[in-house]
Structure 1
Amino acid sequence: MKVLIIGGVAAGTKAAAKLKRELPGADITIFTREKEISYAGCGLPYLIGGSVEDEAELIVNTPEKFAALTGVAVETGCEAAALDPTAKTISIRRSPDGPAEAVGYDRAVIAVGASPLRPDAAGVELPGVFTLRTPADASAIRGWAEREDIRRAVVVGGGFIGLEVAENLKTRGIQVTLLEASSQLLPGIFDPEMADYLRRHLVKNGFRVITGAKAEAFLGDSRITAVRTGARILPADLAVLSIGIRPNTDFLAGSGIAMEKGAIVVDRRMRTNLPDVYAAGDCALVTNRITGKPQYSPMGSSANLEGRTLARVIAGEEAAYPGVLGTGIVRLPGLNCGRTGLSEAQAVGEGYDVVTALAVTDDKAHYYPGAATFITKLIADRQSHRLLGAQVFGPGSVDKMIDIAATGIAAGMILDDFDGLDLAYAPPFSTAIHPLVQAVYVLLNKLSGAMVSMTPAEYAAGKAQGRRVIDVSRAPAVPGATYVALDKVRGPIDGIGADEPLLLVCTKGRRAYLLQRKLAAFGYTDTVVLEGSTSFCEVKAHAAGTSVPPEEVTRVKGLGFLRDKNTADRFNGRVITRNGKITAGESRAISEAAERFGSGEIAMTSRLTVEIQGVPFDSIEPMREFLMQAGLETGGTGSKVRPVVSCKGTTCQYGLIDTFSLSEEIHERFYHGYSHVKLPHKFKIAVGGCPNNCVKPDLNDLGIIGQRVPEPNLELCRGCKVCQIEAACPIKVAKMADGKIAVDSDACNHCGRCLGKCPFKVFERSTNGYRIYIGGRWGKKVAQGRCLDRVFTDRAEVLDVVEKAILLFREQGITGERFADTVARLGFENVQEQLLSNELLARKQDNISSQKHLVGGATC
């Protein structure tokens, strides 16, 4: 039997290897256009991040090794040009410009995979814009990130691969923006409320997430500098496209093979409609195991199983591939996300009488070190109790939850079958009642009426409107809610009516359920438990005009919202400018935010941040979300590196340096890069373009001032009676002495205004540089900063000094003191010596990881 397999990687090589074992005498040849036939495609994002160190680690088999191990002939660099089912031939082109040669077959396997989609957008071919499909792609992205010292990246597409790429770029210290055209991340994979939780988690971990927007153009001349959407421009040194894939099936046009949207239609035996032609992998459709309908499910796991099944069928076995459940999992910083089966929307679309429950459970014994939680959403049919789907989030072993659920769904188990299931238990691994079984119990309680609850999706849609929020957490946790201590409830609760509509919340939902059972026994008739409670939902119970609890005032202050002292519940939100300027689009977004969420008024702070006035407490999160969509962030408070303040030296007639560029680099590297680092007090940085000191760099903890140091050629001086240099010097330190011009180098402020003023070219040459001041401050106690002895000419060295100053302050500062106090206590010469050496950088990791300054001293 002569078998031609077109394509390798997962399905093609698996089919070839299995078939050769089943039929050792078969003549099997793989034709593939790639140089590698078998690589771990799912590991590509981790090569970018560095978890996989070398591209070679992802190569499962080289063509030579595979051929030697299996006896299958392998020809790389070959592309299929056409399929003739009547003649039973496939036309193969062995080089891009070479002739097509018809190769006959007895059986043919199409496993050509798919290629990444590229948007029809200007600039998509610019250097720095990548797709990800092969190890070479991953190496190219990683090389670009390392070689070009990338600071900002845009990942276009919020599916599994896009999220994995985003996570791995973040591990490299790159600021990542996720851009998804759909209204949510992982569209069609997770239900909207689950996707929203995921979005909130990513934002809290420093990602910028923009949904409902497409990449319309990639900007730049010789390389990418930004991505333009319909509403904004996103600065970017790197863009990775992950907007989907398209089956590589163009060569099958005219063959008569059945396809849907480019994917080959096959039956459960992986047969196409053409005799003796089979298909598997990312170029073929498969069957949904629940609905029985065809679906496109390009996964490496199913591709291997399809290839194995296909080989058994060709070998004459009565094999069939039962189909997929859409099982998938992704790792993100601090959160693993898995799913299997139907989503709620899919189940409704299939006509099921859908019921869901969301449960927050311990993922192992609560007392065991490292214990955390699982957030589990189960989807089932109300009438039959059949489990239809599961979605699970958590920092731990989400895979075991999904695997158990997938097994149950595949076996046709109903919820009741999980009751008493004998699953592995020991404190390091699980809870005595398995977390998935606990989630099943929640859903069964809901079905039986033992628990009356509201889903997070219903709560987000406003179904709790008019209900009084009862907080039954171990300690009060919901501002404005009525707190009830569960262990003290012995009868009806004073002040809460028996017929009053109540929403019961706690941390996870369990205590709320227990309170509901107690209240039912005491005659309360309208209580509803909020599923997931505060662990999952953003619960709001604060009444307008009432005082906000002190702990909440402190919390939102960390987000950049300072309470307006004239009100009980209104705040002024600081919108950060990266370098002292904002775009017109950002300005419009700030104005709209002020009108929608605040008083309509905007103030400018002395630090060049924009402050939106009069934001009600309950509008803080909506406003932050609105601003984030425009690429803006709030913050700039606390004992941390503060947003940089910059003059407009880039465009000012006296400006000597590019202040906008330098300030933005400081913002990304130290405001964002050190956002998790607590300092003894706030640390303010100012960048001035010249010695005019418009933004007072010498009155900040650290200030940088542009310098232009003249290098006069005094041999050319003619001792003019009216010296143009003496006349041009704004601070009068250039003076004629003994018939020659002289400049007091200690008094010169290096403004550069003398340059080019002498007709005899005495003052033509100069050196551009930076003066660094340390230990300044203004406010309650003013301190004049002192400049380091050197004028720095290397911008990278300036940035290193900034980092060393921050590290010195963290390591040697005392909690509550300003950097000026630290410099005075240690001595300027001592501090200068440390800033000019590299010992602080050598101790960086130990310094940052140490538990220091947990409180800090900043009060504003």
Structure 2
Amino acid sequence: MSDTPLLDQLETGPWPSFVKDLKRVAARKPATRDLLRQLERSYKDKITHWKHGGIVGVLGYGSGIIGRYSDLPDEFPGVAHFHTIRINQPSGWFYTTQALRELCAIWDEHGSGALNVHGSTGDLVFLGTTTDELEPTFAALTAKGWDLGGSGSAMRTPSCCVGEARCEYSCYDTMDLCYQVTQNFQFDMHRPSFPYKFKIKCSGCPNDCVAAVARADMSVIGVWKDDIRIDQAAVAAYAAGELKPRAGGTPYAKLDIKADVTDLCPTICMKYDGKKLAIDNKNCNHCMHCISLMPQALRIGTETGASLLLGSHAPILEGAQMSWVIVPFMPMEAPYAEFMALVGNIHEWWSEHGKNRERTGELMLRLGMRNFFQSVGLEPPPQTVRTPRANPFFFWHAEDFEAEDKGRKYIKL
């Protein structure tokens, strides 16, 4: 009889099971065999048997290794130490088969053979090795040109969509920005010195394929400033059913432009009279709904860059929190000096005022948006205003009176 009957049930469904993969590795890796046995015990006891027993790492680095220990080391000695190693992934997750084989060979020699490509954090994750194998694993990785990712209260490994490499919607080179950010903030990634984690994720367009606005402290979302380009002949082809919506990515054969496109515009900035499509671009909020439905008829503008949003995360007590727009439009061209300087200012403000395990979004809520914008040197954009001011009474600061004495006009007629 199998010693993992509960796990065996997971192999009986119609979908591929991680249990089957782990059993294949367990045939040659005792640690992975004990991993399965401990997981079976956790299913039976209905509690985890992992514990954090201290900080481990490699020489010169404070992050990249997540220490993990079993609380049943005598029963499952193969996972008494089962540390996780995060590997800094290439931009856009582009790997050659040779690179993947090198990584797998390194892990097969020094660890459990189980890995995660890719976790929600972005890194490639090596799952399970002993403390004695950390330095040899790190040496083998660096010899092949790999580095560790971020962990703990540090700059986390930046990640991005494929951007201009494969996507016609991309408004900037996501892969280059991701690489440059990774290089620029190496110290902050490898030596934790922040109140808590800080994530940067780069999406080439508002479709946000890396879900940056929900998961990243700093979201870099590609946008355009000018008008959406329209091919009226292609619009007519969509209306006639000659072109398939979403380039064939839906079960619908024909597009009802009024019902499916213009009536669903969140800002009601589009009109279709049966022959011609018109867009009031000043009221467009770049949701990408119309462009995604009719990619051959509508194109993003030509004056492109990115919107910067800050503050998203999912704290347990307050619940999920989305990002705020802090810069509506910023040109995104190498060497990205304006962007790097702003991120540095945010880090300084957060490091000075943040409490332990308080992320930037929580600090912004605690101290207020006015304090944030003043501290990092940004003009507050109207996109941060949820509703117009209704109360005529508000407080002035001393610097406002000083600026007024020097000629600043707060109401420009």
Contact 2:171 2:306 in 1 (8 A): no
Partners of 2:85 and 2:107 in 1: how far apart? 10
* Aligned counterparts, 1:363-374, within 5 A: none
Q: Deviations over 1:4-32 (max 9, x none)?
A: xxxxxxxxxxxxxxxxxxxxxxxxxxxxx
Matched, 1:688 2:203: yes
Contact 1:578 1:643 in 2 (8 A): no
1:678 to 193, 197, 200: 193
Partners of 2:141 and 2:263 in 1: how far apart? 44
What residue number does 2:108 align with? 595
* Aligned counterparts, 1:152-171, within 5 A: none
Contact 2:63 2:190 in 1 (8 A): no
Paired amino acid for 2:115: I
2:306 to 764, 767, 770: 770
Structure 1 pair 676–798 and aligned structure 2 pair: CA distance change class (3 A):
same
Deviation for aligned residue 1:837: 4.1
Q: Deviations over 1:487-545 (max 9, x none)?
A: xxxxxxxxxxxxxxxxxxxxxxxxxxxxxxxxxxxxxxxxxxxxxxxxxxxxxxxxxxx
* Aligned counterparts, 1:562-711, within 5 A: 562-566=66-70, 567-584=79-96, 585-603=98-116, 604-650=118-164, 651-672=166-187, 675-676=190-191, 678-699=193-214, 700-711=216-227
Deviation for aligned residue 1:835: 3.8
Partners of 2:261 and 2:327 in 1: how far apart? 26
Deviation for aligned residue 1:636: 1.3
Structure 1 pair 792–623 and aligned structure 2 pair: CA distance change class (3 A):
same
Deviation for aligned residue 1:678: 0.9
Matched, 1:748 2:285: yes
Structure 1 pair 558–671 and aligned structure 2 pair: CA distance change class (3 A):
same
What residue number does 2:329 align with? 791
Deviation for aligned residue 1:824: 0.8
What residue number does 2:347 align with? 806
Query: Alignment RMSD, CA only?
Result: 3.9
Unpaired segments of 5 or more residues in structure 2?
Answer: 1-49, 71-78, 240-256, 380-413
1:831 to 372, 379, 388: 372
3-state SS, counterpart of residue 791 of structure 1: strand
Paired amino acid for 1:590: L
Contact 1:580 1:608 in 2 (8 A): no
Partners of 1:776 and 1:571 in 2: how far apart? 28
Q: Deviations over 1:656-702 (max 9, x none)?
A: 32211110011111244664461111111111111122212112111
Paired amino acid for 1:818: R
Structure 1 pair 704–731 and aligned structure 2 pair: CA distance change class (3 A):
farther
Q: How many residues align?
A: 286
Paired amino acid for 1:696: A
Q: Deviations over 1:340-359 (max 9, x none)?
A: xxxxxxxxxxxxxxxxxxxx
3-state SS, counterpart of residue 85 of structure 2: strand
Q: Deviations over 1:35-56 (max 9, x none)?
A: xxxxxxxxxxxxxxxxxxxxxx
What residue number does 2:297 align with? 757
Partners of 2:160 and 2:222 in 1: how far apart? 12
Structure 1 pair 676–612 and aligned structure 2 pair: CA distance change class (3 A):
closer
Deviation for aligned residue 1:729: 6.8
Q: Deviations over 1:441-466 (max 9, x none)?
A: xxxxxxxxxxxxxxxxxxxxxxxxxx
Partners of 1:614 and 1:552 in 2: how far apart? 15
Q: Deviations over 1:398-437 (max 9, x none)?
A: xxxxxxxxxxxxxxxxxxxxxxxxxxxxxxxxxxxxxxxx
Larger mean Cα displacement after TM superposition, 562-571 or 617-626 = 562-571
Contact 1:670 1:803 in 2 (8 A): no
Paired amino acid for 1:561: I
Deviation for aligned residue 1:633: 1.7
What residue number does 2:271 align with? 736
Contact 2:204 2:221 in 1 (8 A): yes
Partners of 1:624 and 1:765 in 2: how far apart? 45
Partners of 1:735 and 1:548 in 2: how far apart? 55
Structure 1 pair 564–642 and aligned structure 2 pair: CA distance change class (3 A):
same
Deviation for aligned residue 1:817: 0.9
Structure 1 pair 623–704 and aligned structure 2 pair: CA distance change class (3 A):
same
Partners of 1:709 and 1:788 in 2: how far apart? 16
Deviation for aligned residue 1:815: 2.6
Partners of 1:818 and 1:575 in 2: how far apart? 23
What residue number does 1:852 align with? none
Partners of 1:590 and 1:785 in 2: how far apart? 35
Contact 1:548 1:568 in 2 (8 A): no
3-state SS, counterpart of residue 303 of structure 2: strand
Deviation for aligned residue 1:728: 6.2
* Aligned counterparts, 1:314-463, within 5 A: none
Paired amino acid for 1:683: F
What residue number does 2:62 align with? 558
Structure 1 pair 833–750 and aligned structure 2 pair: CA distance change class (3 A):
farther
Contact 1:680 1:817 in 2 (8 A): yes
Partners of 1:824 and 1:575 in 2: how far apart? 33
Paired amino acid for 2:106: A
* Greater Cα radius of gyration, structure 1 or 2: 1
TM-score normalized by structure 2?
0.59
Structure 1 pair 581–832 and aligned structure 2 pair: CA distance change class (3 A):
same
Partners of 1:834 and 1:705 in 2: how far apart? 23
Contact 1:574 1:611 in 2 (8 A): yes
Partners of 2:350 and 2:87 in 1: how far apart? 26
Partners of 2:238 and 2:115 in 1: how far apart? 50
Deviation for aligned residue 1:805: 2.0
Which of the pair is proportionally richer in helix? 2
Deviation for aligned residue 1:641: 0.9
Structure 1 pair 606–625 and aligned structure 2 pair: CA distance change class (3 A):
same
Partners of 1:756 and 1:549 in 2: how far apart? 53
Contact 2:152 2:192 in 1 (8 A): no
Deviation for aligned residue 1:820: 0.9
Which of the pair is proportionally richer in strand? 1
Structure 1 pair 744–773 and aligned structure 2 pair: CA distance change class (3 A):
same
3-state SS, counterpart of residue 121 of structure 2: coil
Matched, 1:782 2:317: no
Partners of 2:52 and 2:366 in 1: how far apart? 38
Structure 1 pair 671–824 and aligned structure 2 pair: CA distance change class (3 A):
farther
Residue identity over aligned pairs, in percent, reads: 20
Contact 2:203 2:222 in 1 (8 A): yes
TM-score normalized by structure 1?
0.30
Q: Deviations over 1:620-641 (max 9, x none)?
A: 1111100010111224112111
Paired amino acid for 2:67: R
Structure 1 pair 623–740 and aligned structure 2 pair: CA distance change class (3 A):
closer
Structure 1 pair 800–837 and aligned structure 2 pair: CA distance change class (3 A):
same
Contact 2:228 2:281 in 1 (8 A): no
Contact 2:51 2:69 in 1 (8 A): no
